[in-house]
Each structure stands twice: as structure tokens, then as C-alpha cells.
Structure 1
Amino acid sequence: MRKLAQIGVWIWIGLSASYALAYPDYISLNGLWRYKVMVKPTPLMQLYRFHGTEKTMKIPTNWYLAGIDHCGVVWFQRSFFLPPKYKGKRVFVEFKGIDYFADIWVNGKFVGSHEGYFQSFCFDITDFVLWTRKNTITIRVDSPFEPIGEYWSLRKTLIKGVLNHHDTRPGGAWSVKGQDKNSGGIWGDVNIVVYDKVRIKKVKITPVLKNKALAILKVKFVLEKFTDEDRFKICLCVLPFNFEGKSQTLQQEIEQKKKGKEYVFTIKVVNPKLWASWDYGAPNLYYLKAKVFSYPGHCLFTKKYVFGIRSIKVDKNGFWYLNGKRIFLRGTNYISSCWLAEMTKKRFLKDLQMMKEANINIIRVHAHIEPEMFYQLADEMGIMVWQDFALQWGYSDDKEFRAEAVKQAREMVNQLYNHPSIVAWCGHNEPPWDAWWMKYKYDDYEPQQNKILDESIYAALKEEDQTRYVKAISATEEHPWYGWYSGTYQDYARPSKTPLVAEFGAQALPDLVSLLKIIPLKTLFPKSEKDWQIWEYHNFQRHETFDLAKVPMGNDILAFIANTQNYQAKLIKYAAENLRLQKFHPLGAIFQFMFRETWPSINWGIVDYYQAPKKAYFSLKHAYQPLLPIARLQEKHKEIEIFVVNDLLQTFNLQVKWVVFDKDNKILALGEKAVNIKENSLQKVDTVKVRNGEKKVIVNLYKNGRLVSFNSYKWAF
């Protein structure tokens, strides 16, 4: 009893003390930094000496956003002071994102280096800082081009995905200017982080659903100590983040001799509230409050980690299950920007709100990694995420590159692990060994290029995360591109070859207000080859638009805008509806390409760079309604088939009404039928015989006499 009383006092003292002074503590280094652009190459580790006369740049930013169109090295420097209260503590410098190579010095002494654009990373600078006077931090940032040449893009060595090679970036994918407007810079927050005697790092929270009434949380982390003390108390408390509920607490005394040690604790959560996508429930979130106490009760560390409890599974047929319920994925592809520093919370929030309003339940982050804010908002808004690694098309097969790619793939998983919105990892988009079309693009194409690379990354992703679906690649076969790169958009009515369609879409011009900000006025309606070069630099695809899709240009720019937007809208509506008619036979997921344009350009976005919707946005919004009537023309048999698709976890008793008009609005056929549409199902309602000629079809869904959904078509046959 006496021992228990002592423990109780210790806990009480510790919990009280934690509110007096909590670590880690932060000093922001965001703001004005001096910088120097290096036009000529300099020795790698030769420190640039700032003179105090250099220009300043507001950090965080990509240097292109600051008006510097430069590839290569830029030096940065700023000063900071450490308050006396931190003396005796451990001091780290933390970076939320530097693109791409970074070398760091503090007070003229080299601290460390880093490679990669998306990772958060830090260095212990305790032994480098001064306590009585000004400190300086100097950073050499190098964001180079891949070696320029005719085939520069086949064997890339920078792991930046779409940020340095893609159809949607400045110059396009296959131009010698395709690396313009470099993404380099200190684009994420910079902080001094001060710890007491310990810190917790590498936190991974893994929920295991036992049944509806119980979830087991496996909490894994590394405790690093900066003291000779070896007795500590761990307190882990699980609390609701965005709903009302009870907390669950685990307390454990530990003895640690080593500087760093990994721990795994399990916590029971009774009657867990599950995270779900917005259309399948509520995005319930918890947070883990982790504390570490010394003996006899001083709080050394406290931090919160938000997570969700949910399960995700993909079966052998390629069908997805969220929390044990089969779900049809209505997705889009997304690249927020070529320069990630411009993505504010407000801008992300508008994108995600528009996606949700368009009935999108999953986002494919296309061949790159987004800033942390994106994933936080996806968690909170209940939108699932398929997360690609930052590999797009061809890369080096050198062992050194493979090792770096595997390392960064592991870092991606560990950095984003606790976000419940992420339901899948994918290693590589259209690698050479899967992209047969590359043999027409590159003279030195090798059919097995990057096969070993992708096998290695796949194994690493699987090892780091056994809870999510892992795809080795996003395959060319899953990107049919009918009506743009091959065939016609009517080919989407053909049976899909795969249970997943990861890309479908077409280009369209933005509205005139946006286009005037993108294309110079004198080339607004292109006539000469020089004019077209400007358009193609801004991603417009002439051959595909005019020769393959057969979109007419029209007589003026307004007609040109209307024609491209009408075609994009028509293709997307047709594709989305006909792919949904293959729900679970064999399709389980579809992804439109692309949601928004990533820079002031003309490409596949259904929303332009300025976040103004194109006509196709409304087509996708309509075609992605969870409850939707669909009419399909069987021209050969002169009949119209009426269907209802229901993606919700609810059975509906509905009245389906339809009417068929001729070109003069004369009614040719009408009908209605009561249907009981089961949850998460597709049901054929009826078949209507028709004659040749122009037809207009309207199909309405009513529930208890109230219109709940509708669809309309115009056909000529």
C-alpha cells in the first residue's frame, strides 16, 4: 500500500508539473534570410562567407516564387539568439522541407547534409551554439537540373517525381525546357527545437480492430535520452480529437541504459469511434498525448499525435473494404503545385472542399508527396488518400540510386504513417519496364529498366507498413486514356481490363478570365507556329486535341474555350458513368485525371490554377453522385437501358421515371418503375426500345415523392 501511495504521488506531481514548463519548445526561424545565388559552380563543401549586403528572401518559399528562376545552388543565412533558460537543454534545428540537397553550418561549423525534397529532418546543434551572443545558421541548397540532353528524362537521379518531370509542369514532359521554373528552396518551416533530458521520435500508432466493441492500439516509438539518468515514467493517454468521448491511459515505469531504445506499448480502446470517409460515416479522430517524466515526477517531454482507428483491405478481386464494408472508390488525381510553399491552408481547404462537393471520396496524390497540411485536412474532412512515391517514368538503375530511393520510400511511410486518410502506398508511376510506349520515345529504351528498383521499393513499403494496401506500380494498363491518347471516349463502355482505372480524362482551356493571365494577349488565339510554341510550353497538346479528339478550334477564342470545355465535360461524364456501370464487375475504383492545374497552364484539370471550375467539374460532380440514375444507349439493338447505382450504405425504395423525346421535343416513350435498390449496389431497372434519330432522354429518381437525383442525355443514331 505504501508503494502504491508513492506512485500515486509521483503521478500527481508529474501531471501537475507538466503544465508549468513543457518540452519540446520552439523558436521559429521563418522570416527574412539573406541569400546568394551561385551562378558559377563552387566546391561542394566550401562555405560561402556572407558580407551582410546580400538580398533577403522570406522563408519558407521556393525561390522561383521569390522571383528567382534558377537551377543549382543558392546559399541562405540568418541569425538567432537562444534565451538563457535553454542552457543545459538539447538544441536541434528542424526543417520541414528543403528541395533538394542541403548542407548546414552553424557558426561556421558543418552540422550535416540531407537529400530529398519532402522529408522533415533535424540535426542536434547543441555543441555548435553560443549562449551569450548571436548564432548564425548557413545553408547551401542545391536544386540542380538533370543533365540536359535529348534523353535526359529516362535515367533521372533526383527523387522529385512530377516536380521535375511531368506533362503538367512548365515546358511539359518532353521538351528541353521541361525542367524550367525550378522547385528548389527552403519551402517548409524552419524551427529551433529545444528538448529537456529526453525526446520521443519515430512514433507509429497502429490500430487493430478486434470487433465493434474493441480496438487495440500498438504504439511504437524511440525514446532518446540526453542524460545519465535511467529511470523514467511513460504516460500515454488516448483522447477524442473531434468528438466527445472517454480517454484511455497507460502508465509505465521504465529503466533505460542506452541512449536510444525502441518501445512498443498496447492500449485498449473500448467502443472505438472509427474514422471513415465522408460518404461512409464520420472522420472520427483521436490523439495520443505522450509524456515522459523523470524521477520523482518532473515532466521532461509532452507532445500530441493525431490518428484514427480504421481498417483498410483490398481483396484478390481488387475490391476495397473500409472498416469491413466494401466501398467503390470515386477518385481524382492531384498535384497541388509545382512550388509547394505556395500551398496555404486556405488554398488546400478550397481544393478539398471542391473535391468533397464533387462527390470525390479518394485522392490519388500523383507521383509526389504533399505538405503535411494536406494530409491533416484530408483526415479531418474524411477524404481517403492513395499516396504515390515520388517516382515518375524513368530513373537510374545504379545501386546507389536504388539505395537512396528505398531510404526515401521508407521515410515517406514513417513520416505519414499516422494519417488515417492514407489507405494505400504506390511505388512508381508508369516505370519503363511497364511503359511499352517508351520504345517510341527513347532510342536507348531498355524493356527491363527499373524492374529491380521497383521490386526493392515495394518490399520496403510492405516492410514499413503491413496495415495498408501497397501497389508496386501504377501500371500503363490502368491508364486507358480513351478519347485522348487512343480510341474514342465511347470506348469507356467496353469492359475494363483491370479492376482499377487510375487515370481518365482530357484537356480543356480555362475560362477567358483565367486564360488572359496565362497566355499573352497577342497570342491568345494562336495562328503561327511561334504562337503554338507558347501554348505548348503551357502544356496544351495540339495533336491530341485536334487530330485524336477531333475538337474543333472554332473562329475565335471564346469558341475555342467552349469547344475544349464541352469535349472534356462530355468525355468525363461518359467515362465516369460507364465505368460505374462496371461496379464490382470488374471495377472497384476509378480516378479522374487531373483535379486542378498545378501552375498557370492549359492541361487536364477540371479546375484551373486559379481554382475556378471548368465545365467538366460539374460533369464529374454529377456523374460521381453516390446515388445516380444512368441511361446507356445500345445503338446496335436500338434500345436504352436504365440503371440505378447506389454507393451508399443504405437501401432505398425509389420511384424511377424516364421520358424519351425526339428532336422536336415530342414524347416518344415514357415510363416509371418502383425499385428497391440495395446498399452499395448497381441495379438495372428497365430497357426501352427506340427508333433511329435524335433523342433526348431524362431519368429522374424520387424518394417519397421528392426528387433525389436525375440525369439527362442527347443522342443521335
Structure 2
Amino acid sequence: MIRRLAALLALVAAPALASDALRPPLLLTGQRADVQDLSGRWTYSKDYYRTGLTDINGWVAKSRMQRYRDVDVAAEEAKPGTAFFEFDLDRGPAMEIPGAWNAAAPELRWYDGLIWFQRRFDAAPAKPGQRSFLRFEAVNYRAHVYLNGKEVGRHEGGFTPFVLEVTDVLRAQGNRLVVGVDSRHDAQSIPGEITDWDLYGGITRPVKLIQTPATFIDDATLRLTEAGRLVGSLQLNGAQAAGQAVSVQIDALNLKARATTDAHGEARFDIAAPGALKRWSPESPLLYAVRFASDGDAVDDRVGFRTLAVKGSEILLNGKPITLRGVSIHEEELGANPARRLTDSAARALLSEVKTGLNGNYVRLSHYPHSETMLRAADELGLLVWNEIPVYWTVDWDNPAVLLKARRQQAETIYRDRNRAALALWSVGNETPVAENRTRFHAALAATVRELDPSRLISAALLVERQGDTVRIADPLLPHLDVMAVNTYAGWYGDDRLEDLARLKWALPTDKPLLVSEFGADALAGYHDLSAQPKKWSEEFQAAYYRATLAMLGRIPNLRGLSPWVLKDFRSPRREHPIFQNGWNRKGLISETGQRKQAFEVMAEHYKTLPSNR
């Protein structure tokens, strides 16, 4: 009882944790000159029992199993003696990185555990005083990183970036980078052990070697305020970070502002927005080339400027009401064997289906932070974004360590994406059961967002409560949200027939905008039922479901946006009907290979009739 009370008190106190404690020690945001992409063929070695980390009884791993060792196994084996090895990453099988191992080989399709990856590379000659870093955009789920036999860092969380300094370990030639990737989830991970999507183990996003001056720009941001000011900051890292002259420059606006860093290496900008500045919007997604500079370093970015607010039941973009016409999406590229390899072309192929195919202006990136490539493509195409962390269904609500993991994932995402004009909504969770401990957990996450990024809106995908034919939100989390959002599947799950949807009444608060963050029905592309009452799983039933649901939702007075579930059929181990699913969730408006279903056209026509701005 005492331990439980202590845990609850820790959760109550959690919002007081300063943002400085959540800021990753290194960020290296923006686009830089001295970057070496380590994408390509990496060798690997399976380690299901984790013998490369620990031996039986928790003993130190045997040297013959330590995959991270900086050793030429073949050369050592050629020497006389009794030593032997039970690994050889130099001669091991290889796969393409970035990319999930689930798609690399049939025997890895359902592998869930530890795999060691190795990349051999030479580094560009270092300049005097230069520092070197490895930036991982995502490793799912836990990463143990070694360079040339020395551990340089660890990270937990499968969808956010992390940076490790390797200045003192890096060699000019023959570097051996080894990453132990453990995909296994448990009761203390974010997300937990059970989800409705494929978790995809591996190094799923790019790895880069970045070289900087001794004192470098670690982070820089700039945004437009409601008062018409461009405000931002620049953070230096290094021994000479304090008292340095820095600047921000936008040539297209003839703008250049200077500032001086404080004792902590931070400088702030507050500039009147030039009259020539044009605001970013889905109709005109203009991005400006912005350069942040210090003595000896520079970082570039492409930034759009717009304002976002809530007024009563309206969402205001650049001061004008907007209706969000969108769809939910998982981070899977089109194709029969997705590897979560979201290149720029793969991201644009998906988002173009939303923008031009569905006549959309919005996308819900579910249920975790998607690749930075997706966010930048949304910036360029003109799609507002809902960004979510994977506090999904249920986690260990009473565990302060789990809350800290969630808050760190939230912070890592915010620091990565603050310069993206497309980003409109931070979601703090999806379909979590109402309970006092759960509400405290989410409230702490909402407080984290408000402290780190008060310029964007906060939401969460909530469950609804059914009382006869009346649908209600009975969720104490509502006061912590700017925008209400609900998931509903009446007519697919449960006993409702499609004709019953016309009777449903939505008794919801009207003082905030409402988004319907999910609704949908499964259909196998190409399966048809032309009868008067088509059966479930057919394209005809899915299309009829969409028509009935859209008619029902159209009666909600403060409805301000939709993101039906889901753009594309996606992998899910929960879905195993041998005819219609076979490991795929079939609620997509298009199939996994891009075949449009009838409901796609229903949704596209509906959005075509809605005004761009209310």
C-alpha cells in the first residue's frame, strides 16, 4: 500500500518536471553540410536468448558471444590455439538498412527479440577540433550502440531520434559500428505488448554520421505568433557556447536578425514579421529557406509560417475557421511486403492519395511518431498533421518510470518537429480506458506538451459511451484537451445494422471542436457482393457503411474534421481470417498495393463537397 501510494504521489507531481529535464542531451536538428549517410547493406546476427548481452544467471556474456567486439573473427580463427567464436558479423547475412527485419527474410517475419547489426565504414578526414556524432532517426525498440568495441550509448523508444557523440572513438578507416536491436515489448514499454499493428523490429530509419565544429548549433527553431512576430531560439553546444553572436536569415524576405547566446548557449529571436511574408496553408504550402548561423557553423531548414488556434467550437488556421478533411494512416509503404522504409517517394505516394485522391487537407499519423520524411512531405504538399505518441489502449498507469518514458518520447518528437508548419495537433493517446490513474497519466502528458510547445493544439482519440441510441463522451480528460476526438465503429463492431445509424444521437459538449478520429469497416479489395444488403468484407458493404456513417456524423453541430480508419490496409498479427485478412487489417480505403476500394470514392466525393475553409 505504501509503495502504491508513493507511485500515485509521483504521478500527481509529474507535471512539475522541468522541460530542461526532458530535453534530449543532443538534438542536431536541421540540415547540415558534413553528413555521411550510413544506409546500405548491414550484416546481422540473431540473438534470441540475448547471449551477446548477458550469460545465464545474469553473468557477463562470454567473449565468444559478444557480437559488439572489435575483432576480425576469421583472422583469429586462423591462429593456433583453443579460442573459438559463436558469431561472425563480418561473414553474416545482410539486409538493407533502414528497414524492418520482418520484411528482409522469411525466417524473420515473426522474429521478436534481439538482433545485432554491423556496418563497416571509413570516415571523412577530421578537421582540427572537429566533433563527430551518430544520429539514429529510429530504432525499434531498444538500442545498444557500440563503435569499435566500445559502448557509446543506449536508447529506448522505437519511433524517435537519438544522437550519440563518438568523437573519441571514431577512426579514419575501418570503423565497426554494431547496434543491438531488441524489439521485444513488455508491461513497462511504450507501447505495451499488444497492439493492432505490426511492431516492425530493426533499424527502421536512417543512421547518419555528422561532423561539427567544436561548438556547434544543436537546435534552432522559428515560428509565427498570433501577434505577427517571428519568434524562435538557437542553442549552441560546446565549450565556447556562451556569449556567441548568432543570426537567423531568410533571403526571400530580406530578413536577417542577430542575437547573442546566454550563459547556457541559448539565443532567442523576436522579430516583426515582414509585410511580404505569405502564410502557409493547405491551399498554398509555401516554405521559406531559413539559415541559422554562428561563428563557424550553419544549419538550414525550410519553414512555413502560419498561426493555429481554437475559438469556441472552431479551429482557426491563420485566423480563419477550417474543417479538417483527412484520413488516418500507418507508417507502411505501398507494396505486398512493407518494411517501414519511408523514403521521400514512398511518403509522397501515400500522402498524394490523401491530398489529390481524397481531396484532403489533413492526415492523422497513427499511432506513433512517423518518420521525419513524412512530416517534411506533408509540409511541402500542404497537409495538416495529427502527431501521436504510442500510449495506446493500456500501459502501466501507476508506474512513474513508464510515465517518464512516455514524456520523453513526447519531448523527443516535439523537439524534432517544432519547425513543421504542417504539424497542428499533438495527441497524448488512443482508446485508453477511463480510470483515475489513466487520466492523471494523460494529464501529465498534456502538461508536457503545453510546456514544450504551447503553439499547437492538444487532443486524444477517446472512447465513447453508448446509452441506448445516445452516444456520449464521459471522459474527465476533456478539460486538458483543446480539441475533442472520438473513435466510433457503430455498424461494424457491435449489433448495429447500417440502417440503425440514422437513429443514433450524439450528446456531446459543444464548447470545443470535435474530430472523429476513427471510423471504418473492413473490405477485401476486389471482393464484391451486389445484393441489396451486401455482406461484411465486401467493397459494397464498406461503401454503404461510409455513406451511413457520414450521414450520422453530419448531424453533429461542432464536428470540425474527420480521419476515417484507415488510408491503406496494413499488417496486423491480430487479424487472421484465412479468406479476408491473413495478417492484414482490411479497413483501408486502398489495398496494401494501392488498389482503390469503392469507399475511397465515397470519401473523396464527400470531401469535394466540403468548403476548404468554413
**Bucket of the pairwise TM-score, normalised by the shorter protein:** 0.7 to 0.9
In the alignment, residue 187 of structure 1 is paired with which amino acid?
T
1:550 Cα deviation (Å)? Answer: 7.3
**C-alpha contact 1:61 1:186 (8 A) present in aligned 2:** yes
Which of 151, 154, 159 is equivalent to 1:113? 154
In the alignment, residue 326 of structure 2 is paired with which amino acid?
G
What's 1:373 paired with?
Answer: 373
Give the SS at the match of 2:102: coil
User: Matches of 1:255 and 1:612 in 2, distance apart?
Assistant: 54
User: Matches of 2:446 and 2:540 in 1, distance apart?
Assistant: 40
Question: Is 1:39 equivalent to 2:48 in the alignment?
Answer: yes
In the alignment, residue 238 of structure 1 is paired with which amino acid?
I
**C-alpha contact 1:90 1:126 (8 A) present in aligned 2:** yes
Question: Is 1:203 equivalent to 2:220 in the alignment?
Answer: yes
In the alignment, residue 137 of structure 1 is paired with which amino acid?
L
Which of 447, 470, 473 is equivalent to 2:458? 470
What's 1:328 paired with?
Answer: 323
What's 2:439 paired with?
Answer: 451
Question: Is 1:621 equivalent to 2:604 in the alignment?
Answer: yes
1:473 Cα deviation (Å)? Answer: 4.9
Deviation string for 1:395-429 (max 9, x for gaps)? Answer: 01211111111111111111111111111111010
What's 2:26 paired with?
Answer: none
Question: Is 1:348 equivalent to 2:332 in the alignment?
Answer: no
1:100 Cα deviation (Å)? Answer: 1.0
**C-alpha contact 2:39 2:206 (8 A) present in aligned 1:** yes
Which of 270, 275, 281 is equivalent to 1:266? 270
- Deviating more after overlay: 491-500 vs 25-34: 491-500
Larger RCO: 1 or 2 (CA < 8 Å, sep 6+): 2
Which of 221, 236, 241 is equivalent to 2:248? 236
Give the SS at the match of 1:354: helix
What's 1:610 paired with?
Answer: 593
**C-alpha contact 1:505 1:604 (8 A) present in aligned 2:** yes
**C-alpha contact 2:119 2:176 (8 A) present in aligned 1:** yes
**C-alpha contact 1:30 1:58 (8 A) present in aligned 2:** yes
1:432 Cα deviation (Å)? Answer: 2.0
User: Matches of 1:469 and 1:404 in 2, distance apart?
Assistant: 22
Deviation string for 1:409-457 (max 9, x for gaps)? Answer: 1111111111111111110101122xxxxxxxxxxxxx44522221211
Deviation string for 1:208-249 (max 9, x for gaps)? Answer: 133xxxx3111113111255x86643121024xxxxx43311
Give the SS at the match of 1:432: coil
**What is the correspondence of 1:49-448 to structure 2 with a 5 Å cutoff?**
49=69, 51=88, 52-67=90-105, 68-69=108-109, 70-131=111-172, 133-146=173-186, 156-160=187-191, 165-167=194-196, 169=197, 182-210=199-227, 215-226=228-239, 232-239=244-251, 245-252=252-259, 254=260, 260-271=264-275, 272-278=277-283, 282-293=284-295, 300-317=296-313, 319-337=314-332, 341-356=340-355, 357-397=357-397, 398-433=399-434, 447-448=435-436
User: Matches of 2:32 and 2:520 in 1, distance apart?
Assistant: 49
Give the SS at the match of 1:346: helix
User: Matches of 1:580 and 1:370 in 2, distance apart?
Assistant: 30
In the alignment, residue 266 of structure 1 is paired with which amino acid?
D
Deviation string for 1:652-699 (max 9, x for gaps)? Answer: xxxxxxxxxxxxxxxxxxxxxxxxxxxx3xxxxxxxxxxxxxxxxxxx
**C-alpha contact 1:340 1:371 (8 A) present in aligned 2:** no
In the alignment, residue 166 of structure 1 is paired with which amino acid?
T
- Deviating more after overlay: 342-351 vs 111-120: 342-351
**C-alpha contact 1:23 1:196 (8 A) present in aligned 2:** no
User: Matches of 1:360 and 1:495 in 2, distance apart?
Assistant: 27
Q: For residues 509 and 234 of structure 1, do their structure 2 counterparts lie closer, same or farther at Cα, with a shift above 3 Å needed?
A: same
Give the SS at the match of 1:510: coil
User: Matches of 2:516 and 2:50 in 1, distance apart?
Assistant: 45
**What is the correspondence of 1:310-709 to structure 2 with a 5 Å cutoff?**
310-317=306-313, 319-337=314-332, 341-356=340-355, 357-397=357-397, 398-433=399-434, 447-476=435-464, 477=473, 478-486=486-494, 487-493=496-502, 494-498=504-508, 499-511=514-526, 551-552=534-535, 564-580=538-554, 582=556, 585-599=557-571, 601-627=584-610, 647-649=611-613, 680=614
Q: Percent of pairs identical after alignment?
A: 24
**C-alpha contact 1:508 1:602 (8 A) present in aligned 2:** no
1:203 Cα deviation (Å)? Answer: 2.4
1:87 Cα deviation (Å)? Answer: 4.7
User: Matches of 1:625 and 1:230 in 2, distance apart?
Assistant: 54
User: Matches of 2:372 and 2:261 in 1, distance apart?
Assistant: 34
Q: For residues 613 and 453 of structure 1, do their structure 2 counterparts lie closer, same or farther at Cα, with a shift above 3 Å needed?
A: same
Q: For residues 568 and 83 of structure 1, do their structure 2 counterparts lie closer, same or farther at Cα, with a shift above 3 Å needed?
A: closer
In the alignment, residue 319 of structure 2 is paired with which amino acid?
G
- TM-score normalised per structure 2: 0.77
Larger radius of gyration: 1
Q: Size of the alignment, in residue pairs?
A: 506
User: Matches of 2:329 and 2:586 in 1, distance apart?
Assistant: 13
1:64 Cα deviation (Å)? Answer: 1.0
Question: Structure 1, unaligned stretches of length 5 or more?
Answer: 1-21, 147-155, 171-181, 240-244, 294-299, 434-446, 516-524, 526-548, 554-560, 628-646, 650-679, 681-717
**C-alpha contact 2:310 2:316 (8 A) present in aligned 1:** yes
**C-alpha contact 2:44 2:115 (8 A) present in aligned 1:** yes
**C-alpha contact 2:99 2:340 (8 A) present in aligned 1:** yes
Larger strand proportion, structure 1 or 2? 1
Give the SS at the match of 1:460: helix
Give the SS at the match of 1:619: helix
User: Matches of 1:391 and 1:368 in 2, distance apart?
Assistant: 8
Give the SS at the match of 1:462: helix
User: Matches of 2:328 and 2:568 in 1, distance apart?
Assistant: 9
Question: Structure 2, unaligned stretches of length 5 or more?
Answer: 1-30, 55-59, 70-86, 465-472, 474-485, 509-513, 572-582
Give the SS at the match of 2:152: strand
1:105 Cα deviation (Å)? Answer: 1.4
List 4+ stretches of structure 1 deviating above 6 A. none
